[in-house]
Structure 1
Amino acid sequence: MTNFIVKKVAVLGAGVMGAQIAAHCINAKVPVILFDLPAKEGNKNGIVLRAIDNLRKLNPAPLGLPELAAQIEIGNYEDDLERLAECDLIIEAIAERMDWKHDLYKQVAPHVAADAIFASNTSGLSITRLSDGLSEELKPRFCGVHFFNPPRYMHLVELIPTAATRPEILDQLEAFLTTTLGKGVVRAFDTPNFIANRVGIFGMLATIIEAEKFGLTVDVVDDLTGSKLGRAKSGTFRTADVVGLDTMSHVIKTMQDNLHDDPFYSVYQTPALVGKLIEGGAFGQKSGAGFYKKVGKDILRIDPATADYVPSGAKADDLIGRILKEKDPAKRMKALHDSSNPQAQFLWAIFRDMFHYIAVHLESIADNAREIDFAMRWGYGWSVGPFEIWQAAGWSQIANWVREDIDAGKALSREPLPAWVFDGRHGVHVEDGSWSPSQRKVMPRSDLSVYARQAFRAGVFGDHSVGGAAAGTTVFEDDAVRIWHQDDAVLVLSFKTKMHVISPAVTAGIHKALEEAETNYKGLVIWHADAAEGGAFSAGADLQSMLPLFMSGGTKAIEPEVVKLQQAHQAIKYANVPVVAAVAGLALGGGCELLLHAARRVAAIESYIGLVEVGVGLIPAGGGLKEITARAAEAAKGNDILQFLKHAYMHAATAAVSRSALEAQSMGYLKGDDVIVFNPYELLHVARSQVHAMHEAGYRAPRRTLIPVIGRYGIATIGAQLINMRDGGFISAHDYKLGMMIAEIVSGGDLDAGSQVDEQWLLDRERKAFMELLDHPKTQERIMGMMQSGKPVRN
């Protein structure tokens, strides 16, 4: 197959979605032109310029670095359409009006390059009807490509062909979306709202109907349907506020206008309360009021009976909390089904409605059950998809309960479950694929070559063919680490501790892995199996495991463990084979220090890296400050080191954490030649390829050299700044003490500027300061506060 290289993208429409899709292309180093209508007054590109300016203010940030906004090229439909010829991919993202889209297609079609792909980011309009506005020549290169909001963070993209779309166009686009933009692609049939919004909005409507039936308030429903169910912690009503009640109403209307024969048609109504809120201008978060309203520091909720806002904060019953903590899915679902508690009955009802709906509609909206599960996981933040929940809880038992409720008139439709549900099966996902009612067979996973880059593809419950924690050959395993390989001469070290914290057992595991790698392998990758599922690289040193040592032997008992941590990090740095840290999610404190010592780092775009020890009243003591000092000296190349050190110093002294891998690069935690990966499922593949490349290039460990330091001059300069911050009330006295300690370490101590020290000199100073702080009452307050509440204490 010939290479499909997207050299430039055009995005038509600088609204919220269009501008953010353009921003994410720029994150991924894909040149992009953002188009909109010419402004009626002032600069003709004013609409686009305002949209780009707004990207810098949005939260969560659509850009990996705010300054990347300047790289988005600008255009308008009057002056710049000939520039479309430069683009290999054109994404239309204007308002959801068929007539407006058709008008725009006529305008742009003559300028589209002969082999470019043209796609619409519509959230629910028919792709086939949209293609009616295109020439016969362009129709085979047209499809739907539906990003979810916010496009940088939401993993899901739905790909929707028409009957005329050339299959290779879809394959090329899927590969680009997967690797370059880091997305999880689900292929949907061309039905209203496709898969995720069709199923997700039904779920929200069913939840609103059942909540009213069982008399539950919006805050209780959100507590029940958020993280307790393994879904987005905002729950149902808070999510609707974030999405926008007007947007939600628009999606409902698409279903209402196009699904008259649907057995669940009666559900597709904008709820009366939502209609009333929209009428009053309460659109949710963007208008300051929706189901919730913030007044001062208080969050109020709507009271449907009076349409007034009243105090919120009610929670689920303790009984329900206990039921939902039950590990066995079958026991958990049975407890909800059998309970007489209204909250339990409500939860069973929303599960039943969802199971009923996806069983009835699977054949018409998706090629197979896997696409629905991935759509809900990647587009709606469910940790487990609806078919997976059903299968894990006992397929036939659930099917019988749902059938009983349909027969008893308790369900939202009289439509019976399809016959295939009762054909003796144990679920829809099996070893070799997922059930497809439309094809009457199990459909295997896509075999596109892009998926060869995912050693551990996203799997579904019941399909064990895509890897998992047991894949590969284990060399050594205990409670803390697993050391393993997949027959490619690269050893992998995976931590098993919670949040992958670095305990004494993990430190021992690092030494064991290095020894094994140096003896038998080309190199070592430090990677964790949940990297792609939002896990942490490492949340730092394991304070909890240090507590018994501290209680029995005081600070003196902890010092040997700090020495071991420093030695483990030094061993990583000076290993005779390359060590590559495959980073995704949080890399804090000791986790950040660990990656600083690797020969190379491969980081997922969503990597949040920082030295955060001051939050618990400590300073970094695993070699992080030593590495900051060495890197500043190296970058200075004989110039004033302080100019290169001051930003890195400030990041450590204020516990700053990067908001993306791109920002971590600008902060100095990642180097310029470190690799940033957009799809976390490809992290291990890229890290391994780095080991192979370094090995083939004749990798040698770095030489141990002396580090020039700035001594007393640096301490005095930084100290003057800290005094101003303390006296101005910006930092506490304890923060000042911590800041001065960090300054003394990175400056090299009480020495003349230009003195040279070895790494051990700096490590000793890190450890000495760390031990002194452990004995300090203010630090002990911070540590206890963090362990009890998970939040930093500022004292």
Structure 2
Amino acid sequence: MKRTIKKVAVIGSGIMGSGIACHFANIGVEVLLLDIIPKELTDAESKKGLTLESKAVRNRIVNEHLANSLKSKPSPIYSQKFASRITTGNTTDDMAKIAAVDWVIEVVVERLDIKKVVFEQIDQYRTPGTLVTSNTSGIPIHFMSEGRSEDFQKHFCGTHFFNPARYLKLFEIIPGPKTSTEVLDFLNNYGEQFLGKTSVVAKDTPAFIGNRIGVFGIQSLFHLVKEMNLTIEEVDKLTGPVIGRPKSATFRTVDVVGLDTLVHVANGIYENCPEDEAHELFKLPDFINKMVENKWFGSKTGQGFYKKVDKDILSLDLDTLEYRPAKKASFATLELTKTIDKPINRFKVLLKGTDKAGEFYRKSFAALFAYVSNRIPEISDELYKIDDAMKAGFGWENGPFEIWDAIGVEKGIEIIKAEGHTPAPWVSEMLASGNTSFYTIKEGATYFYDIATKSQIKVPGQDAFIILNNIRESKKVWSNSGAIIEDIGDGILNIEFQSKMNTIGGDVLQAINKGIDLAEKEYTGLVIGNQAANFSVGANIGMIFMMAVEQEYEELNIAIKMFQDTMMRVRYSSIPVVVAPHGMTFGGGCEMSLHADKVVAAAETYMGLVEFGVGVIPGGGGSKELTLRASDLFRKNDVELNTLQEYFLTIAMAKVSTSGHEAFDTGLLQHGKDIIVVNKDRQIAEAKKHALLMAEAGYTQPIRRNDIKVLGKQALGMFLVGTDQMLAGKYISEHDKKIANKLAYVMAGGDLSEPTLVSEQYLLNLEREAFLSLCTERKTLERIQYMLKAGKPLRN
């Protein structure tokens, strides 16, 4: 049967429930969010003369929870206007409304007795065929559906979102005893295609896959930190970005998630997994018990492993359980990996370390490798699901079996045994069968070792994706030090940046021009996209700084003109060019998107022209392009200055969108032309599809614009008065004013006496002159230097 989701009901509006409701609103689904009614009035309600029968009182809990969620940072919603898709109510008055929804998601407190009462109510009101799922993080699914109707049980399973629901990609689907295959297949596909998740079908075992392995890893470190006499700063240094984990590493992550949440899951595993060979590891160490007793749960209680006092961050001494100033952690082994860009390539070096760091990595990875091998087939029959769960649910760049492959399967077994652990027998059987790795790449697809057949099987679901890691070498057409051009099939090329942070320097510009040359001669279209953490943080400001310091202004002028000319080639080539931004898309990365025939942006795209932060204006066509876009919006009898001012402020305030959708509000993406993809894994394939569609529709090379209306002195005067007032009010510095006035001159089209139609090249010349003149300013050089050293803007 065909199943569509137009409306969902979320029962339970706490942090998780509100987050799930917001994410469904993000993708355009209507949401009914329900919670219990209050048992008593607040003082404020009593003073207003309200009663327990007042609607505002009866919906107070759900409305407060949702409001708090919408105010939280990072935001659970792509755009605040999407919150209108959520309707609130309570489980006493509004439960009957679930008869009109397609999917009911239960997100109430983790108590089986309460959940069973809720499911009894749901069974009473739901329409047969409606999906019912629980967001439980550990209660066995088969307990929850006991006593429910046959139709309920057929359409019931667990769907475990990870918090925060918008950002963490793992979507565990846990079948009940009678869940139909159709329901599982539907949810698996819906999670991937519509929710933008990594769907993993898990077994109904305690904590499922993600939390079983993730909590093991954290508990293992809790014990190891005492055994090796490590500080929490040292552990966070060792378990953060250096091994492809989030910056919050271990202890900061626990503070954010909440120690009480972690303890709840760990206790559940300890109580329900007596046969687990690592059973005793899930027993909480004394220092954790003391923290729980003190209610030091982390961010939610103001202190955990870290505590903020005024502007200082204090760390917990695990021996004395007293807070002290944070200590800087450093290890010789980590220094050896500084020249290795990709975390997956660092593990061989880290595990060979002769200092405390090397010992730590051998102990922790030996325990992890042994544990994951022994969880098959208990929690999953397929090893790739464990890797997927850890990457999507815990933000690991590489899963445990991928890391094990990176150091070599035999070497991994050697380390496991040296540390006193025992790997599962199937690992040795795998090697004996002639399979030397857990994964292989064949014909652009990933294969995994299947224990049942003792052979490599293709990981399912890849057909909707283009995975650049799998085709980079086999489909390479051309490369230099900064980028690779790949043939992604059907006459479409892809340009993938390879520079540090995907900055745009001469090598990347050369690759873009080469890619356009090749596509115009032999191919159909071009995509500019990559699958790194961020699309691009902008131009190589280190190169700009060196030229400016050496006063090589002619060379700098040539470099900026090359950047501008390359952006104009993106706009005016004879083939369609689609840009696929995601993550940080700053400065030059944003300018590239502005010049594309179409932008296929990930929902998590943080786009902005941030050049003011380093003391310049956008010089790669960004200032020109927003002037052009303002001109295209001028309408008869409109106040044109207001439209231009909006675009001026987008640059002058260095506005950065907090999602792809918000980039439409700032004018950096355009309705009717650019689109958003929720699942980043599908982005390159989607961009390719749109390049093909444009080519097949008969793409015509655009004609260069010479009809851009600029307002001259009329606009310039308004902007200059505005910057004077901002300086007088001490909102900006003298140098901020200077930069803003340069931008004003460009976007006004100069000090023309009346509104005039000009060409793009006219504006590009003004833009370049302004950029170069700012590069001669000492305060601009100070800003660039500070950004290069500290990684954040300087206000001077």
Gaps of 5+ in 1: 460-466
Equivalent residue in structure 1 for 2:575, among 570, 574, 577: 577
CA–CA distance in structure 1, aligned partners of residues 677 and 694 of structure 2: 18
Q: CA deviation at 1:320?
A: 4.8
Would the aligned equivalents of 2:587 and 2:611 in 1 still touch at CA under 8 Å? yes
Q: Output aligned runs, 1:196-215, within 5 Å.
A: 196-215=210-229
Would the aligned equivalents of 1:330 and 1:394 in 2 still touch at CA under 8 Å? no
CA–CA distance in structure 1, aligned partners of residues 342 and 199 of structure 2: 30
Q: CA deviation at 1:739?
A: 0.6
The corresponding residue for 2:68 is 54
The corresponding residue for 2:46 is none
The corresponding residue for 1:292 is 306
Would the aligned equivalents of 1:540 and 1:587 in 2 still touch at CA under 8 Å? yes
Greater Cα shift, 783-792 or 504-513: 504-513
The corresponding residue for 1:427 is 437
Alpha-carbon spacing, 1:774–1:90, altered in 2? closer, same or farther (3 Å): same
Q: Which amino acid aligns with 2:408?
A: G
Greater Cα shift, 617-626 or 481-490: 481-490
Q: Which amino acid aligns with 2:575?
A: V
Q: Which amino acid aligns with 2:18?
A: A
Q: Secondary structure at the match of 2:253?
A: helix
Greater Cα shift, 33-42 or 354-363: 33-42
The corresponding residue for 2:597 is 599
Would the aligned equivalents of 2:132 and 2:155 in 1 still touch at CA under 8 Å? yes
Would the aligned equivalents of 1:192 and 1:255 in 2 still touch at CA under 8 Å? yes
Q: Output aligned runs, 1:171-210, within 5 Å.
A: 171-210=185-224
Alpha-carbon spacing, 1:741–1:549, altered in 2? closer, same or farther (3 Å): closer
Q: Secondary structure at the match of 2:23?
A: helix
The corresponding residue for 1:19 is 18
**1:614-670 CA distance string (max 9 Å, x none):** 111111111111111111121122322222122221121122211110111110000
Alpha-carbon spacing, 1:326–1:667, altered in 2? closer, same or farther (3 Å): closer
Q: Secondary structure at the match of 1:173?
A: helix
Q: CA deviation at 1:379?
A: 1.1
The corresponding residue for 1:738 is 739
The corresponding residue for 1:464 is none
Would the aligned equivalents of 1:324 and 1:332 in 2 still touch at CA under 8 Å? no
Q: CA deviation at 1:430?
A: 3.8
Question: In percent, how many aligned pairs have the same letter?
Answer: 36
Q: Output aligned runs, 1:212-291, within 5 Å.
A: 212-291=226-305
Alpha-carbon spacing, 1:493–1:344, altered in 2? closer, same or farther (3 Å): closer
The corresponding residue for 1:462 is none
* 2:32 is the alignment partner of 1:33: yes
Q: Secondary structure at the match of 2:377?
A: helix
The alignment yields a C-alpha RMSD, in angstroms, of 2.4
CA–CA distance in structure 2, aligned partners of residues 625 and 337 of structure 1: 49
Q: Output aligned runs, 1:466-545, within 5 Å.
A: 467-472=470-475, 474-528=476-530, 530=531, 533-534=532-533, 536-545=534-543
Alpha-carbon spacing, 1:598–1:324, altered in 2? closer, same or farther (3 Å): closer
CA–CA distance in structure 1, aligned partners of residues 147 and 646 of structure 2: 54
Q: CA deviation at 1:105?
A: 0.4
Q: Which amino acid aligns with 1:364?
A: E
**1:726-749 CA distance string (max 9 Å, x none):** 122221110110011111111111
CA–CA distance in structure 1, aligned partners of residues 116 and 671 of structure 2: 45
Equivalent residue in structure 1 for 2:457, among 420, 423, 444: 444
Q: Normalized against structure 2, the TM-score is what?
A: 0.92
Alpha-carbon spacing, 1:690–1:554, altered in 2? closer, same or farther (3 Å): same
Equivalent residue in structure 1 for 2:109, among 95, 104, 118: 95
**1:501-535 CA distance string (max 9 Å, x none):** 2222332332332233334433322122x2xx52x
Would the aligned equivalents of 1:525 and 1:579 in 2 still touch at CA under 8 Å? yes
Q: Output aligned runs, 1:597-636, within 5 Å.
A: 597-636=595-634
Alpha-carbon spacing, 1:334–1:515, altered in 2? closer, same or farther (3 Å): closer
Greater Cα shift, 697-706 or 749-758: 697-706
Q: Output aligned runs, 1:756-795, within 5 Å.
A: 756-795=757-796
Greater Cα shift, 733-742 or 355-364: 355-364
CA–CA distance in structure 1, aligned partners of residues 740 and 650 of structure 2: 11
Would the aligned equivalents of 2:634 and 2:643 in 1 still touch at CA under 8 Å? yes
Alpha-carbon spacing, 1:436–1:332, altered in 2? closer, same or farther (3 Å): same
CA–CA distance in structure 2, aligned partners of residues 520 and 435 of structure 1: 39
Alpha-carbon spacing, 1:320–1:596, altered in 2? closer, same or farther (3 Å): closer
Alpha-carbon spacing, 1:692–1:332, altered in 2? closer, same or farther (3 Å): closer
CA–CA distance in structure 2, aligned partners of residues 498 and 311 of structure 1: 33
CA–CA distance in structure 2, aligned partners of residues 338 and 568 of structure 1: 45
Would the aligned equivalents of 2:577 and 2:691 in 1 still touch at CA under 8 Å? yes
Would the aligned equivalents of 2:244 and 2:344 in 1 still touch at CA under 8 Å? no
Q: Output aligned runs, 1:679-690, within 5 Å.
A: 679-690=679-690
**1:288-333 CA distance string (max 9 Å, x none):** 0111111111111222332221122230333454378778999976
**1:679-727 CA distance string (max 9 Å, x none):** 1111112112222332343333444241112221212222222222212
Greater Cα shift, 125-134 or 690-699: 690-699
Q: CA deviation at 1:388?
A: 1.7
Q: Output aligned runs, 1:384-395, within 5 Å.
A: 384-395=398-409
Greater Cα shift, 508-517 or 768-777: 508-517
Q: CA deviation at 1:765?
A: 0.7
**1:151-175 CA distance string (max 9 Å, x none):** 1111111111123211221111111
Q: Which amino acid aligns with 2:700?
A: R
The corresponding residue for 1:751 is 752
Q: Output aligned runs, 1:692-703, within 5 Å.
A: 692-703=692-703
CA–CA distance in structure 1, aligned partners of residues 699 and 334 of structure 2: 57
Q: CA deviation at 1:772?
A: 0.7
Q: CA deviation at 1:336?
A: 6.1
Alpha-carbon spacing, 1:224–1:131, altered in 2? closer, same or farther (3 Å): same
Gaps of 5+ in 2: 40-51
Q: Which amino acid aligns with 2:29?
A: V
* 2:130 is the alignment partner of 1:116: yes
Q: CA deviation at 1:103?
A: 0.4
Q: Which amino acid aligns with 1:725?
A: M
Q: CA deviation at 1:341?
A: 3.7
CA–CA distance in structure 2, aligned partners of residues 66 and 298 of structure 1: 32
Greater Cα shift, 555-564 or 494-503: 494-503
Q: Which amino acid aligns with 1:583?
A: P
Would the aligned equivalents of 1:368 and 1:443 in 2 still touch at CA under 8 Å? no
CA–CA distance in structure 2, aligned partners of residues 368 and 468 of structure 1: 24
Q: Secondary structure at the match of 1:138?
A: helix
Q: Secondary structure at the match of 1:137?
A: helix
Q: CA deviation at 1:582?
A: 1.2
Would the aligned equivalents of 1:336 and 1:345 in 2 still touch at CA under 8 Å? no
CA–CA distance in structure 2, aligned partners of residues 134 and 222 of structure 1: 46
Q: Which amino acid aligns with 1:55?
A: S
CA–CA distance in structure 2, aligned partners of residues 675 and 707 of structure 1: 25
Would the aligned equivalents of 2:560 and 2:619 in 1 still touch at CA under 8 Å? yes
Alpha-carbon spacing, 1:238–1:172, altered in 2? closer, same or farther (3 Å): same
CA–CA distance in structure 1, aligned partners of residues 357 and 150 of structure 2: 55
Greater Cα shift, 337-346 or 50-59: 337-346
CA–CA distance in structure 2, aligned partners of residues 475 and 326 of structure 1: 25
Q: Output aligned runs, 1:328-477, within 5 Å.
A: 341-406=355-420, 416-423=422-429, 425=431, 426-431=436-441, 433-437=447-451, 439=452, 441-442=454-455, 444-445=457-458, 447-448=460-461, 451-456=462-467, 467-472=470-475, 474-477=476-479
Q: Secondary structure at the match of 2:320?
A: coil
Alpha-carbon spacing, 1:133–1:251, altered in 2? closer, same or farther (3 Å): farther
Q: Which amino acid aligns with 1:567?
A: D
The corresponding residue for 2:653 is 654
